[in-house]
Chains A and B, each alone.
Chain A
């Protein structure tokens, strides 16, 4: 049992856990793994501190802090890999995890099969200038006040609003990556997101809309958050959608707004350009490098370097600095998004895209900031080019299946009649197949913008950015009533 010497309120909540002093411990583990016959060993150490706050109406109704540490150890032999995660970061705990990972591949920890581990390279500390990120980010008091200001603004601007909610989430993560190829890097990451949601009701009419914003790497980002304009925009949308009719189903031309409209590329094509999809045999683009897979107007990029964007990284979860990867150039497929296992199994060079939710997942090739490049049209020109179609102003989530069929929902839509926006409609879901839809993106506007999002897939839920300018899809299936 512990002896209480200080008041619990005096405890210094030490946040950072990893530094170069881990080198010898990690080198011992990596040497053991290599000696046992592994081709490659990677150790991923993680230390987290999360906070989420919920405001409802005019009260803070939930404050949920969480913290913890863990390790994920991955061992490769030939093209197979074994992965073990543990919360036990003691020397014996890590050695047991390594032993289990080796055992999965038929290797034993105390054997001496090979002796070719040269030690870890120079320690790369990307967390050096980020020491104060946790203490400088919004605290409980400040975040609570911000949320309550937001829900008050919703009350000021809204009509028929029965539920007002605001939520804030802060995720601080310290990682240390060590690999038997010498990789030795540490980073600190900070992701914050804030959002407002409303439910409007009037007799049988109901509408629920929300907006969420996310940033990385900047503790101050939300201190100047404009809750006023967010609340005003949200209330305007909720009121319009409250009395909106359900969209009529059918095949239609659509214009998708910029920012979160980029979910169409993320779901329809982005996932199919991850090397995990080649490994599974579930992408139709596996053998299409340098072939045309989209309309001439489409150039698509995945990168991890835009400052402050939700999907940006100093290093990926395999210790590699991220790149700017042009996936599609003028309709021609140029690159896949690749991680270490992807390079090993498919031959596509790593792009700094090995990502995972936390230490309990092995890294996989995942998107970062993914967007369609701007074109030369104005958004107005796109709408004017359609006689009878749908304008998707605000998108919900989506998904893609193992045969390449994708879908995503439209939160706020408007009919296009005679080249002009007409009445609001709700309840639309857009579905299609990447191979068929990508050639139908015929016009891109000049107003590229990005939006923060969360992507759930093989290695868990990760922070991403989607984006695009306004785009026109010549025809797509619009599910409705």
Chain B
């Protein structure tokens, strides 16, 4: 096994790219251009009952070039071909596309693209190599299969390690660069008892490297979750007191993040408007931040697609909408600074990074009796939401989603066989009756358990 073969061989040659683009721009009298590029190398393994199933490796690179033509209109082109001919073809493509640039919404360089960045102190972890990944995953699968007699197989599993670089450069001298490593483990078990339906659940862990992955915790969580669904039953359709586990609530908020997205506001597809700033949109007990730089965010990057530094941004403060997520173009229209949430394009997309939800202190303390592991009355505990791509109408505010969860009665949890939860996100946010004090770190953000009353649930009666 030659582990050297898995070390990145072709890091992005920034100076060569800059020289090539400067030359092309000079020849065509194009004064303004920028680019985003990334390069990655990764290996991954999957196993099936102790045997390797699929082993995968990849080397990938991509670049997006954006040019401003003589009329000031913007065009882009993306390519995986970082050769000089590829760059030339991409530059030509961007130039051609600029003729169709939108004169009513012209992006510019971010005013913050050369501001200092927060040092993320990301460790660069050595690759373990395919053989070691296989050993680890086979062992993890075996341990999970031995956790309970009902666990028959682990149909979805994977262990991967990645090494990547990302850059942003513009013709005014901005030059951003980040290099990082990442590892991921997922274990999704399938359990079945005699004359009962199969049940399934799983767990995922991310870290900067394989050695940092908490594999035992992942195994234990996958096992506990799967086993906890063995005792299942149907549920009656009706309105219920519902407690969202952190991952489930983060999934819901992520699906409706257009509420905080200035691009969506300007496009008219958000539930909020520019005038919503400073207005109450949620229960006074809810505060929401987007913190790309949080130490638990393994995917963190200290700059966005336009080179703007990322930061911790308060979106909702005690129920009041405080900020939107911005790109350069949207920030200019709102008269604020970009927030570090942009992609790179002729029409620049805007997106959330790492949501952090917390209870606004001093609010709602009378409902402290609502604790998901102590409450003795009837409620539904939702563990995860499914099919968000199909069941969420973000521009309408409505959702109707299958979920995994339990009916909890007198402290006893019974898994729900198949059900959907439906509602309107505006009602959900305003009808939060309690946010528990303890926040949980998940792979997609941080959130406590959140309680909402009178949510509509449909079961198979």
Contact = CB atoms under 8 A, between A and B. Distances in A.
Interface of A: 1-2, 4, 7-9, 11, 13, 53-54, 56, 59-70, 79-88, 96-97, 99-101, 103-105, 140, 144, 162-163, 199, 206-208, 246, 249-251, 279-282, 360, 362, 396-399, 401-405, 407-409, 426-429, 431-433, 477-481
Contacts of A251: 460-461
B130 A103 contact: yes
A404 B155 CA distance: 13
Q: Which 4 A-B pairs rank lowest in CB-CB distance, beginning with the nearest?
A: A479-B420, A68-B80, A249-B458, A397-B390
B268 A163 contact: yes
B331 interface: no
Contacts of A11: 88-89, 92
B423 interface: yes
A103 B55 CA distance: 10
Given A13-B92, A81-B55, A429-B420, A68 B62 contact: yes
B89 A409 contact: no
Given A140-B97, A281-B152, A480-B422, 9 more contacts: A2-B85, A56-B267, A59-B104, A61-B102, A69-B81, A280-B48, A281-B153, A398-B390, A429-B422
Contacts of A478: 458
A87 B58 CA distance: 9
Given A280-B156, A402-B155, A403-B190, A7 B27 contact: yes
Contacts of A428: 400
B96 interface: yes
Interface in B289-307: none
A454 to B, nearest CB: 11
Interface of B: 1-2, 5-6, 9-10, 16, 19-20, 23-24, 27-28, 48, 51-62, 75-82, 84-86, 88-97, 99-102, 104-105, 130, 152-153, 155-156, 188, 190, 197-200, 237, 267-269, 345-347, 386-387, 389-391, 393, 395-398, 400-402, 418-423, 456, 458-461
Interface of A (DSSP majority class):
strand
B387 A1 contact: no
B56 A431 contact: no
A471 B267 CA distance: 38
Nearest to A408: B390
A81 to B, nearest CB: 6
Given A64-B76, A140-B97, A432-B418, A409 B237 contact: no
Given A13-B92, A250-B237, A398-B387, A282 B155 contact: yes
A209 to B, nearest CB: 10
Contact of A82 (B56, B391, B395): B56
Contacts of A140: 96-97, 99-100
B393 A208 contact: yes
Contact of A360 (B58, B90, B99): B58
Contacts of A97: 57, 59
Contacts of B420: 249, 407, 429, 431, 477, 479-480
A97 B345 CA distance: 32
B102 A477 contact: no
A61 B107 CA distance: 11
Contact of A65 (B93, B395, B400): B93
A61 B347 contact: yes
Most buried by B among A81, A100, A279: A100
Nearest to B459: A477
B155 A280 contact: yes
Contact of B237 (A1, A67, A249): A249
Nearest to B456: A481
B104 A407 contact: no
A399 to B, nearest CB: 5
A396 B418 contact: no
B387 to A, nearest CB: 5
A405 B402 contact: yes
A59 B106 CA distance: 13
A67 B390 contact: no
B396 A208 contact: yes
20 contacts: A1-B20, A2-B84, A4-B23, A61-B346, A62-B347, A68-B62, A68-B80, A85-B57, A103-B5, A140-B96, A144-B100, A249-B237, A251-B460, A362-B56, A402-B155, A407-B402, A407-B420, A431-B402, A431-B419, A479-B421
Contacts of B19: 1
Most buried by B among A60, A144, A249: A249
A80 B97 contact: no
Most buried by A among B58, B155, B269, B398: B58
A426 B398 contact: yes
B55 A206 contact: no
Contacts of B422: 246, 249, 427, 429, 479-481
Contact of B81 (A63, A64, A67, A477): A67
Given A399-B387, A427-B422, A2 B81 contact: no
